């Protein structure tokens, strides 16, 4: 079994209105030290072992569904979980 962590972030060149809103909210709470906020997604998947290579599987899932590669970048970490 694998525990897969996927991080999806907007590409640098893409505007992030949600991040801008959060930055504004932090400033109005007097956290004026905050210069920039970018918001992304964090996904945790539990994947069973199969004949397919886990790396390839995760990359495929990201490309097809989890990330919109036109405007988003993704990275992932795979951790093998040993079930006792």
Q: In terms of CB distance, is 70 or 83 closer to a copy of itself?
A: 83
Binding mask 7-46 for a copy of itself (x = CB under 8 A): xxx---------x--x--xx--x-x-xxxxxxxxxxxxxx
Q: Is 84 an interacting residue with respect to a copy of itself (CB under 8 A)? A: no
CA angle, 8 then 13 then 9, to 5°: 10
DSSP 3-state of 67: coil
Q: Is 62 exposed, middle or buried (0-12, 13-18, 19+ CB in 10 A)?
A: buried
* Minimum CB distance to a copy of itself, residue 62 (Å): 11
* Minimum CB distance to a copy of itself, residue 3 (Å): 10
Measured between alpha carbons, how far is residue 45 from residues 24, 51, 74 in Å? 32, 18, 14
* Minimum CB distance to a copy of itself, residue 76 (Å): 12
């Amino acid at each position: 079994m694998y525990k897969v962590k996927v991080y999806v972030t907007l590409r640098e060149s893409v505007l992030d209105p949600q991040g801008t809103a959060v930055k504004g909210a932090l400033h109005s709470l007097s956290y004026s030290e905050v210069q920039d906020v970018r918001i992304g997604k964090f996904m945790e998947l539990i994947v069973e072992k199969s004949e397919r290579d886990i790396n390839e599987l995760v990359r495929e899932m990201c490309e097809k569904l989890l990330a919109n590669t036109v405007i988003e970048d993704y990275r992932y970490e795979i951790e093998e979980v040993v079930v006792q």
